[in-house]
Amino acid sequence: MTEPLLDVRQLSRRFAAVDALKDVNFSVEAGEVHALIGPNGAGKTTFIHHVSGALQPDSGSVHFAGREVTRLAMHQRVAAGMARSYQITNVFLGLSALDNVALAVQGRQDAGSSFRFWQAARTEKRLFEEARSFLEQVGLAKRVETVAGNLAHGEQRALELAMALATQPQLLLLDEPMAGTGPEESARMVELIEHLARHVTILLVEHDMAAVFRLADRISVLVNGRLIATGTPESVRADPEVRRAYLGDHL
Amino acid sequence: MAFYRPAPYQKPLAIVLLLAALALPSVLSAFGQEFYVGFATRVLIFALAASSLNLVLGFGGMFSLGHAAFFGAGAYVAAICMQAGISDALLAFPLAMLAAGLLALLVGALSLRTRGVYFIMITLAFAQMAYYLFVSARAWGGDDGLPLVGRMTLGGLSLSNDNALFFTALSALTAAIVFLGRLADARFGRTIQAIRENETRMEALGYPVFRYRLACFALGGALAGLAGALLANLTGLASPNLLQWMQSGTLLVMVIIGGVGYLYGGVVGAVVLLCLEEVLSGFTLHWHIGLGVLLLGIVLFAPKGVAALFGKRDD
């Protein structure tokens, strides 16, 4: 069997007296959509923070693309091919959609150094052409010049996704991409993620169960910082412990 | 906030003002007011120093309360160069920039690990350490400062002529403004402005944030060093007072009056503050009261600073 793209081993983290994460073993195979679900406060976002490098674990390790990244800073993990979107929209509200994505393209290692002090970035056609193509991918082709703060909420979520894509990740960490979107926007987002999943591996944290069961190849369930089940959507749906702890009336 | 973008009339206005500045010495001598050439040079030098702080504070978002350390270090390097027989500014000025830049690199490398109030305090602490270092350095004059035996030469040109020094300072300021204007639009400028807005997001886009902030901080330090070297030539003295926190405060006030994050913020602030000082101190020793009123007025009625009227930065 080939090595998983993301392999989290025995990850633990305590906040004061609370086990936010306890001995979590978790892996994402290359090419799959792996959803992480769990009730509010289960530690899903904390887990994403540990994978992306925003937080450091007390013990355990994170391996990505065959190397250990536990102690690497966030920007180093991004350079290694890991990108994330945020639960709460986190884009540059004062910049146009295009400038937002162009920043993401510019930050990539193969886009060259950002220690350039003289040439106006505006004249670097490559940056902006590429940024445009990412905006097209997420369906924002018509909103290129719109200031991000003036985009609708669902569009901002899509922009967030375009920025993550622009870093050309192998693994996309999506923290509740559907958060706060209406039913129509959600449906569009599901389609978009389905489309992206053909090119990139996705770790998806989401509350919308319809979306999760439609998108995920595998599902893991986190409850009180412990991973209680991992498996195909069918097996997780049937798992008695999962039903008891969490799903119950959702299914 | 968005990236800095100048208003369309800013460039022509700046060129007109530059031409006016070029004519200033002749105009002053026509009216027999040569004394003011020295004052104008002082304004230009402080405009450069404040602009260097504006790079760090306005574009980089780093609230440094120790910027005067680099300003003063530049002045001392100039004085030490003179003492050592290096009287050509073409060598001494780059040395001053290098030394001040390296000092900023060192201070930045340590203090940029902190944020918020801690950053303000630690930059202040480093600057005060530098101040006391120079106060106690007997070889460099201790708290009397280190006088320069004369002014430097620039290539073959002697700067002992007031007009020559004025034009040197004007060239330095112009070059710095042109450079900073280009920088704001270039990759580096966009990077540091975006870091100012949201450093975590930039980190999550793969930017090594610390490195960019440090480079910005050191660059600001180097420009302040150039201003310091010019000032030492003007006043003929490198005084430890130049490194003191009061001096950092003055530069901060200039930037805030002029406009934080506006290309001409430092220039406008230096002109307003120094002219105000010149005029008011003719009437009363307590001219600071007038300054206080002005600051209040700025904060209340033009919170983005005077240069905000000339530059555009849509929020």
The pLDDT value recorded for residue B314 is: 46
Q: What is the ipTM of this complex?
A: 0.91
The pLDDT value recorded for residue B165 is: 97
- Mean pLDDT along residues A112-118: 93
Say if residue A189 is in the same domain as residue A239. yes
In whole angstroms, give the CA distance from residue A204 to residue B14. 53
pLDDT tens for A28-87 read 999 999 999 998 889 999 999 999 999 999 999 999 999 999 999 999 999 999 999 998
Token pair belonging to B62: 């780093």
Query: What is the overall mean pLDDT for chain A?
Result: 93
Percentage of the residues of chain A whose pLDDT score is greater than 70: 97
Nearest CA in chain B to A76: B206
3-class secondary structure, A171: strand
User: Residue A19's domain spans which residues?
Assistant: 1-81+169-251
C-alpha Rg value of chain B to the nearest Å: 19
Say if residue A223 is in the same domain as residue A145. no
Say if residue A100 is in the same domain as residue A222. no
In contact, B20 and B278? CB cutoff 8 Å: no
Judged by CB atoms closer than 8 Å, whether chains meet at B315 and A94 is answered as yes
Q: Which residue in A211, A215, A91 sits closest to A153, CA to CA?
A: A91
Q: Per the domain annotation, does A86 fall within a domain?
A: no
Tell me the CA distances in angstroms from A219 to A233, A250, B73, B91, B185, one per residue in order.
6, 15, 61, 67, 45
Amino acid type, B20: A
Q: What φ, ψ does residue A147 adopt, rounded to 5°?
A: -65, 135
Say if residue A120 is in the same domain as residue A178. no
Say if residue A145 is in the same domain as residue A194. no
Query: Which runs of E-coded beta strand occur in A29-144?
Result: 33-37, 59-64, 67-68, 82-85
In contact, B222 and A113? CB cutoff 8 Å: no
- Tell whether B11 is within 8 A of chain A (Cβ): no
The pLDDT value recorded for residue B315 is: 43
A100 CA: distance to closest CA in chain B (Å): 9
Residue B25 burial class via C-beta count within 10 angstroms: exposed 0-12, middle 13-18, buried 19 and up: buried
- The DSSP secondary-structure symbol of A61 reads E
**Confidence (pTM):** 0.93
Nearest CA in chain A to B215: A115
Amino acid type, B308: A
Among the candidates A138, A168, A198, a domain finishes at A168
Say if residue A121 is in the same domain as residue A135. yes
Among the CATH numbers 1.10.3470, 3.40.720, 1.10.1660, 3.10.50, which is that of B5-312?
A: 1.10.3470
Q: How far is CA A191 from the centre of its chain?
A: 16
Say if residue A129 is in the same domain as residue A238. no
Q: What φ, ψ does residue B139 adopt, rounded to 5°?
A: -60, -25
In whole angstroms, give the CA distance from residue B122 to residue B118. 6
- Mean pLDDT along residues A11-20: 92
Say if residue A203 is in the same domain as residue A213. yes
In whole angstroms, give the CA distance from residue A239 to residue A199. 30
| Residue with the larger pLDDT of the pair A251 and A84 | A84
- Tell whether A150 is within 8 A of chain B (Cβ): no
In contact, A148 and B197? CB cutoff 8 Å: no
- The DSSP secondary-structure symbol of A146 reads S
Say if residue A173 is in the same domain as residue A250. yes
Token pair belonging to B252: 């901060």
Say if residue A97 is in the same domain as residue A147. yes
- Tell whether A145 is within 8 A of chain B (Cβ): no
B315 CA: distance to closest CA in chain A (Å): 6
Q: What φ, ψ does residue B158 adopt, rounded to 5°?
A: -80, 140
Contacts of A122 in chain B (CB under 8 A): 185
In the structure, what pLDDT confidence band is assigned to residue A168 with cuts at 50, 70 and 90? very high
Residues in chain B predicted with pLDDT less than 50, given as ranges, are: 314-315
Contacts of A110 in chain B (CB under 8 A): none
In whole angstroms, give the CA distance from residue A221 to residue A246. 9
Judged by CB atoms closer than 8 Å, whether chains meet at B190 and A121 is answered as yes
Contacts of A117 in chain B (CB under 8 A): 179, 182-183, 186, 188-189
- Give which of B55, B187, B196, B223 to mutate to test A binding, by max A Cβ within 10 Å: B187
Q: Per the domain annotation, does A54 fall within a domain?
A: yes
Say if residue A74 is in the same domain as residue A130. no
Q: List CB contacts of B248: < 8 A, sequence separation 6 or more.
A: B64, B65, B66, B67, B68, B69, B124, B127
Q: Looking at the predicted structure, is the pLDDT value of residue A250 above 60?
A: no
The pLDDT value recorded for residue B292 is: 87
Interface of B with A in 209-268 (CB under 8 A): 209, 212, 215
In contact, A182 and A121? CB cutoff 8 Å: no
Q: Where residue A200 sits, what CATH number does that domain have?
A: 3.40.50.300
pLDDT tens for A194-212 read 999 999 999 999 988 899 9
3-class secondary structure, B229: helix
DSSP bridge partners of A63: A7, A68
